[in-house]
Amino acid sequence: MNKPSLRTLLLLTILSLSLSSCDRSVLFEENVRIPDNRWDAANVIKLEADIPDTAQLYNLYVNVRNAGGYPYSNIFLFLNTTLPDGKRSRDTLEVTLADDKGQWLGDGMGDIWDNRALFRERMRFPQSGLYTFEIEQAMRQNPLPQIMDVGLRIERYDDPAGR
């Protein structure tokens, strides 16, 4: 059996490192699977992110993955945020999942659709430390069918104009 040459191993290492490199602007991203694709209102999605820099601008996104059988064109969510010092805030947001003609938005493959909704743009976190985010479904139907995953993404915002 032939052994791979040092050159081949080096090329494979470089290739695997380049393919596994991540988006350096992403500070945090976590998505939570919804059991049986039926999101019960009592199932609050809890995520924790460490925010190191209060001078940095960030974009905050909410991620929603739904199946094509989802019965609505949108989803309303409550986002509860707990700051490192224990202060809390609560926001209501609407994520549009389909256009007025019923066509699903976002990235789709087969019958599955991924949406990343911008919640806050160019925001600064007031404190450094561990933030807790809780996402609740706020729709009238309970449980809410065909919701597969819900999550949060925090990206560093680098203004090309230097503002």
User: Above 90 in pLDDT, residue 21?
Assistant: no
Contact 59, 121 (CB under 8 A): yes
Q: What is the pLDDT of residue 2?
A: 55
CATH hierarchy code of domain 25-157 = 2.60.120.260
Place of tokens 């509860």: 80
Per residue, what are the HEC states of 21-88? CCCCCEEEEEEEECHHHEECCCCCEEEEEEECCCCCEEEEEEEEEEECCCCCCEEEEEEEEECCCCCE
Domain chopping of the chain, boundaries: 25-157
Does this model's pTM top 0.75?
Answer: yes
Q: What is the pLDDT of residue 15?
A: 46
Q: Note the pLDDT of residue 6.
A: 61
**Residue 20: what pLDDT?**
42
Kindly state the tokens that stand for 69: 């059988």
Query: Is the bond preceding 126 in cis, omega lying within 30 degrees of 0?
Result: no
